[in-house]
Amino acid sequence: MDSTIRSLLQQVKLITKYYSQLSTQSGEGFNVFKVINMTHNETSVHSRFIAELLNPKGSHGQGNVFLKIFTELFCENLNLDYSTATTKIEKSIGPKDLETGGRLDIIVSDKKNHCIVIENKINAGDQEKQLIRYNNYAKSYKESRLIYLTLYGDSPSEYSTKSEDYKLEEKKDYICLSYNLDILEWLKNCRKEVVTFPILREGITHYINLIKIITNQSTNEEMEKEVTTIILNSFEDIQAANLIASSVYKAEAEIQLLFWKELRKSLVQNNLEPKNSEEDFEREIKNKVSNYYEKNANSHPGIWIKIYQKDNITIHWGAEIESLFYTGFTLEINGEGGVSSTKEAELYRKFISEMGDFDTSSKWWLGWKNYSPELNFNTINENVYNLTKNDYLKEVVESITRNAVLDIYSFKTFLEESF
């Protein structure tokens, strides 16, 4: 078995190297969303791109073609009037209480009282009774569909779907869709409709490749076919591939756990005390890292330090991993997150934007930034692999800690002078 595994790995390594060289020569590795560091921006990239394609009056100029493909795939028997359909993002449906209100990520509606509501979850966690509130709004229409969209088709939590009296049911009250399968299928069908429109076709291709990047899929289908052919060469090769696959998750998890433990130790040594005790942190981070790899769940492994609290405002410095590792500041009002785009957070966000390098477009973060050099824990780039080397690991965590100390000092100074 050992020789079979070594042979299989060597063959895959050669194929990967070959297609990597082809990608460099052809420019296929270029992705505009990755270049501008907007791979995971939920509102400004993903909701906007999807909504633009769904909009019959969108700049794509294809009328209702893309919307019709979407409804035929995912909204069976919805009698949407394509001729009057409009699309909006971040639509306010009033102040939030336990049954109503909030902001809809995407809504498609027509003048005959039909709608599609899409709750888009890439970075964000569920809010209290969020789908209940959106379901109540959608039901005010004659016909409606409520869609819960995540990277891998995860189900919403009971925190979002359960009230004191009832609980929403999947397929009856809402539909779960995934980026890695459902949205990719829709986009590929859309691309078939615009093969003679090169700019539009390549724009959709860039977005398809972006989704493959953030859902840990190869962007090269020919390479996947060659690897599949090798694995199917014999029963022994399939056995070896299964053993490799099951071991990869554990190896990736070990690297990430090593990173988090070292980072926490470095922060503590610099008088930055995380919220959780060391014992609680290690138990929680182990569980989240396990879910991150074994269940492909967007479990948000991270570490948090409270830096400010006054009246109903609490601010944390935090570090998290989606695909990439990033750091930043979050704000809570009365213990509730996702409020960084509100009027109450405006002054804090303004200062963060003046600090430089921070992306301030998320309602969940006052500002966040990716670490450089890039640490991709999803596809395990070379920088992440090098964390297995003790000297490099210490160098990275010390760099992150230095930046954290400077950022926290700057922000706390502003807070003390302003409030």
68 three-state secondary structure: helix
Q: Both 205 and 339 in a single domain?
A: no
Q: What is the pLDDT of residue 27?
A: 56
Q: In terms of domains, do 246 and 386 share one?
A: yes
Run of H or E residues at 145 = strand 143-150
Residue 119 in 3-state DSSP? Answer: strand
Check residue 264 and give its pLDDT.
Answer: 97
Are 332 and 413 in a shared domain?
Answer: yes
Which range of residues forms the domain containing residue 12?
2-28+220-233
d(CA 5, CA 243): 9
Residues 153 and 282 in one domain: no
Same domain, 251 and 204: no
Token couple for 362:
């998320």
Residues 191, 251 within the same domain = no
Q: What is the pLDDT of residue 417?
A: 85
The verdict on 263 and 228 lying in the same domain is no
Query: What token pair was written down for 395?
Result: 């160098």
pLDDT at 160: 87
The closest of 145, 85, 151, 153 to 118, measured between CA atoms, is 145
Tens digit of each residue's pLDDT, the chain (419 residues): 678 777 777 877 777 776 666 666 555 566 555 655 556 666 678 899 999 999 999 999 999 999 999 999 999 899 999 999 999 998 999 887 778 888 899 999 999 999 999 999 886 667 778 899 999 999 999 999 999 999 888 888 888 888 878 899 999 999 999 999 999 999 999 999 999 999 999 899 989 988 887 786 766 667 777 778 878 887 887 787 777 777 778 889 999 999 999 999 999 999 999 999 999 999 999 999 988 887 666 678 999 999 999 889 999 999 999 878 999 999 999 888 888 888 889 999 999 988 888 888 788 899 999 898 889 888 788 899 999 999 999 999 999 999 999 999 999 999 888 87
Token output for 222: 């020919």
Do 190 and 261 belong together in one domain? no
As a whole number of angstroms, the distance between CA 116 and CA 297 comes to 25
- DSSP line for 171-201: TTTBEEEEIIIIIHHHHHHHHHTTTT-HHHH
Domain's final residue, options 205, 233, 261? 233
Q: Specify the pTM.
A: 0.62
Distances (CA, A) of 170 to 60, 82, 155: 33, 26, 8
Q: Within this chain, do residues 297 and 152 fall inside the same structural domain, yes or no?
A: no
150, 248: one domain = no
The reply to whether 9 and 102 lie within a common domain is no
CA 190 to chain centre: 22
The DSSP symbol for 106 reads E
Residues facing residue 324 across a β-bridge: 376
- Give 376's DSSP letter: B
Q: How many domains does the chain have?
A: 3
Q: Both 384 and 337 in a single domain?
A: yes
Please give the Cα distance from 263 to 282 (Å, whole number): 12
According to the model, what pLDDT value does residue 400 have?
Answer: 97
